[in-house]
């Protein structure tokens, strides 16, 4: 995707150790920045969560998204949601807990967590460009029952910069899936958020513990610095 004359090698000051990435084989993967998780009246709130906890991730993601677009990096957005007939929503997911509204019920932003409804869409601040990839996923992990593997193979992607919500659920699940498939994942600490700040902290610690058992963790400033100070491969 990147022009061959551009510097493409960057070193991110990450934990547990710095990581060198070739931007040409790196994608920005933005997980589930949807109105259903981020705004009042959506899936997150029907589960009893304080959705304002997630707002802090929007700005850091926006800054890195702009830098990724400027450098021509592949950008992939995911959306968690289900078909209108709920044929891809297992009863074990739909019936769980005691939410005020269940998946598929009509809510203020349309049917809860259903593809095509307003609540299922990505928030305006991070809205995908027509040229960007959008992966619709029925599960927490972005690889389960999606075309993500095919997309990554098509573009020669080996590394993922991962951000989005929530840290301990869809971000962590996706990073674990990606790690098992051989992708290097750098998770953006301030570009992720949880309804539970302590789960956010733990979710990041789990990734970077044991020498980076699932991946690396870095903040948006470190990612931007690595992009800015990139060198030419050779």
Number of residues counted as binding ligand C5J (CB under 6 A): 8
Give the nearest distance from C-beta 62 to ligand C5J in angstroms. Answer: 18
Could you tell me the smallest distance in angstroms from the CB atom of residue 136 to ligand C5J? 13
Here's the x/- map for ligand C5J, 27-46, by CB under 6 A: it reads as -----x----x---------
Pick one of 33, 51, 57, 170: the residue that binds ligand C5J (CB under 6 A).
170
Nearest alpha-carbon partner for 47 in 122, 97, 3, 110: 97
How far apart, in whole angstroms, are the C-alpha atoms of residue 234 and residue 228? 18
Choice among 163, 170, 185, 192 that is catalytic: 170
Nearer to ligand C5J, 32 or 219 (CB): 32
* Overall size of the chain counted in residues: 234
- Comparing CB distances to ligand C5J, the nearer of 105 and 158 is 105
| From 68-76, 120-128, 149-157, 166-174, span contacting ligand C5J (CB under 6 A) | 166-174
Q: Please, which residue, 170 or 185, has the CB nearer to ligand C5J?
A: 170
**Residue 22: active-site member:** no
Identified binder of ligand C5J from the candidate list 28, 29, 73, 165, rule CB under 6 A: 165
Compute the least distance from the CB of residue 107 to ligand C5J, in Å: 15
Ramachandran assignment for 212, one of left (phi > 0), alpha (psi -120 to 50 degrees), beta (any other)? left
Name the one range near ligand C5J by CB under 6 A: 128-136, 145-153, 163-171, 213-221.
163-171
Residue 80 interacting with ligand C5J (CB under 6 A): yes
Q: Has 154 been annotated as catalytic?
A: no
| Tally: H helices and E strands in the chain | 8, 10
Is 32 tagged catalytic? yes
Which residues contact ligand C5J by CB under 6 A?
A: 32, 37, 80, 140, 165-166, 169-170
Catalytically active residues are 32, 137, 170
């Amino acid at each position: 995707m990147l022009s061959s004359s551009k510097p493409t090698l960057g070193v991110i000051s990450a934990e547990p150790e710095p990581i060198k990435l070739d931007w040409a084989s790196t994608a920005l993967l933005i997980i589930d920045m949807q109105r259903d998780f981020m705004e009042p009246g959506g899936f997150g709130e029907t589960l009893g969560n304080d959705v304002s906890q997630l707002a802090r991730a929007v700005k850091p993601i926006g800054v890195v998204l702009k830098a990724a677009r400027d450098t021509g990096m592949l950008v992939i957005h995911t959306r968690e949601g289900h078909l209108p007939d709920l044929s891809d929503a297992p009863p074990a997911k739909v019936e769980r807990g005691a939410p005020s509204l269940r998946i598929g019920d009509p809510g203020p932003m349309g049917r809860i967590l259903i593809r095509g409804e307003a609540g299922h869409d990505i928030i305006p601040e991070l809205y995908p460009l027509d040229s960007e990839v959008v992966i619709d996923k029925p599960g927490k992990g972005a690889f389960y029952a999606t075309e993500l593997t095919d997309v990554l193979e098509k573009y020669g992607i080996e590394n993922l910069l991962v951000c989005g919500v929530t840290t301990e659920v869809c971000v962590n699940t996706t990073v674990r899936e990606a790690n098992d498939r051989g992708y290097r994942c750098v998770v953006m600490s301030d570009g992720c958020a949880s309804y539970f700040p302590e789960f956010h902290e733990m979710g990041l610690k789990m990734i970077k513990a044991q020498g980076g058992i699932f991946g690396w963790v870095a903040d948006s400033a470190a990612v931007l610095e690595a992009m800015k100070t990139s060198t030419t491969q050779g």
